[in-house]
A and B are shown apart, each in its own frame.
Chain A
Amino acid sequence: MKSADDERTASVIYGYAASAVVWLLIGSAYGLVAAWKLSYPELLTIEWLSFGRIRPIHTASILLGWLSVGLTGMAFVVVARTARRPLWSPLLARVALWCWNLALAAGLVTLSLGITRGPIEYREWITPVAAVFAVGVLLNGVNILLTLIKRHTDELYISNWFILGAFTWLPIQYVIAYLPAFDRGVGNVVIQGYYMHVVLGLWFTPLALGVTYWVLPRLLRKPIYSYTLGVLAFWGNLVFYTLIGAHHYVFAPIPWWLQSTAILLGWGMLIPVWASVANFVLTMNHSWRLVRHEPAAWFVLAGAIMYGVASSQGTLQAFRDVNVLLHFSNYTVGHAHFAAYGFVSFLLFGAIYALLPRVTGREVSGGAMRLHFWLALSGLALYVTSMTIAGVLQGLSWADGAPFIESVVVNKPWYWVRALGGSLMTASHVVLAWNIWQMRPLRAPRAAVGLTMEAPA
């Protein structure tokens, strides 16, 4: 039987999934408008839709909205299942969701009005807006920690390490990102390189990995290939990822040792990355028939592979010889989408399809999931390919010493391809929204469904 708290936990988790997909749709719409503006600069010449204003709205809606809200919702499923109990407080989780939605909406409005801290990525929101978001982070962190302390199992599953880590590291880096002491001067740039890097690698990455370390065993009904590799990935990610943020400012007037350390330790980062990729793929080994019939697993497989490739790309991109050609170019834009979408979003798509039906008791048709998969993957392929080619062409044009405008002109065909890819990605998100609506919780409780009924793998 389901307890009342089970029901409330299931309901709030659905609230996270639904909010996440709303922010995904909003963020995609802004991204798409921004993309088309580079092909049609006259398109929507309206103050609050100007390129420089909607770019941070796109990134905030996708990163802080879709990914943070969605991954946290799925993390709740993992935490509740592995602790074999409902959330410590479903009410607190709901309050935190309102904090996040409020901050995201306020962020959208303020950035539209040109109220910003400046083009400092992922911390553009003014401090009061960011503070509301931070309250949501803290509430969720406390909720997860208390759920795990009061767990009904003996041991903590590895997923919970990653989830606890994410909720420990984000508050620290977020506070540092907003410290007024570092508002001015090159110190701010050092903080910027650090923050824009760790927010990806020590917030989205551990959440996505933690959720996947649980999703895969559930989907394939067998334990993860190597538990030890999971532990290695946890500590490896913490140590290496934290140290390499300065590689975003190679050749800038920040300390040379800091840049060199960051470039060199990028090699080390490959250890935890490929440990997790290998772990996921080897867990799928001998279960390929199951994988083939389970579209949720397609997302996980594609996400795992893209995690490995995009991260390795990041390591190479930092080398000074490569960086001098490709930095400042659209190559970086391609890389960012490869990682945030191909890796993190794909794992989140897979997690939603794998876990949400188990929470709400409603399935999605395989055809709808496959349609989402192929639209998203083909859109992303066009996106990353076009921006990679565009970036190389820009870099070569600059190296040639051609007039700057040539680097703009050579990009124009590729801007078209990118906008087409973005359109396919956005179409896939409409399919996802439809699928999440299909998975809305049943009004009448179904005896077979319960958050805490099933034993963990």
Chain B
Amino acid sequence: MRISTDQIDQSRVEEFVQLLTRDQRRVFLYILSLLPNWTEAEEILQNTNLVLWRRFDDFVPGTSFYRWACGVAHLEVLKFRDRRRHDTLAFTSDFISEISAAMADDGDLIDRRHQALNCCLERLRETDRQLILLRYDHQATTQSVAKTLDRPVKSVYAAVNRIRDSLLACINRTLAAEDRQ
């Protein structure tokens, strides 16, 4: 790995840190949409961050950092995919490119959905919110949640799916209402 040895302007460093921290979540979601595996997406996010840092001189101020980062992340995903070309638990390169195009154009929509999710989580029934909290807790699995709640795994699986569907529907309703206004 080559590290840039150019003198780096302090303000440029600060600009990079600001942009990177602002868009980390969105870039992570972009990567996850191409490679829907949590740990693999994390790894690619790290690699992407490093490339962004090394190539930050190529970034044109005033343009979309998110789009630029998505371009870099797309290549990192394809490289990762290529290294694991025998892994069947992944999408094909063509499919990845198709999704990439859709996601890179949807940066604003990601933020809108994020905002809508806030409202929808608040509207959940308390028991449902508790369940989704447990399920998405760090390192939790449906099995571990079922064990914790002393409920059948199938029941928890079905409930989590129901809550996710409910949240999806709520988000879509919220966005549709905003669009009508």
Interaction A to B = no
Residues of B near any A CB (own CB < 8 A): none
Residues of A near any B CB (own CB < 8 A): none
